[in-house]
Amino acid sequence: MLQLNVLGLLESRGITNPQQYLVRQGIPYYTVSRLVTNKSKNISYENLEQLCIACKCTPDDLFVWVPDEKTTANEPLALEKLKPKPKLPTAAERLKNLSAEQVKKLQEFMDEMERNK
């Protein structure tokens, strides 16, 4: 079954209050509440576009696929790439464990990436 993974996506980016963040991005609270709790049976193209803009991602970044007992296939499915990934520490958590030299190298790398946009 396909599920929206908005909370996981935003939390992995260090956003500590995803619902509040999405409301500040202009998505109505009622819509945010239904989408992040997976209580919505469908999503409009307009809401999908709003989420992609707010989350700075593409639609496949927003979804995870969890196979259920009805899912049977004799060959690999394209949906396999949407299976949930193991939860990794956030960028902020990872930064806490870097040495001063590593932080400096990371800053230089980020500066270079920004120059090459």
User: What amino acid occupies position 100?
Assistant: A
To the nearest whole percent, how much of the chain has pLDDT over 90? Answer: 28
CA distance 28 to 41: 17
CA angle, 67 then 72 then 75, to 5° = 105
Q: Is 68 helix (H, G, I), strand (E, B) or coil?
A: coil
CB atoms within 10 A of CB 50: 20
- If asked whether residues 60 and 10 sit together in one domain, one would say yes
- If asked whether residues 21 and 48 sit together in one domain, one would say yes
- If asked whether residues 57 and 99 sit together in one domain, one would say no
Confidence of residue 72 (pLDDT cuts 50, 70, 90): low
- If asked whether residues 116 and 60 sit together in one domain, one would say no
Confidence of residue 99 (pLDDT cuts 50, 70, 90): very high
User: What amino acid occupies position 103?
Assistant: V
User: What amino acid occupies position 58?
Assistant: T
- If asked whether residues 100 and 61 sit together in one domain, one would say no
pTM exceeding 0.85: no
CA distance 80 to 71: 12
pLDDT for residue 73: 63
Instruction: Domain of residue 53: give its range.
Output: 1-68+77-84
Number of domains within the chain: 2
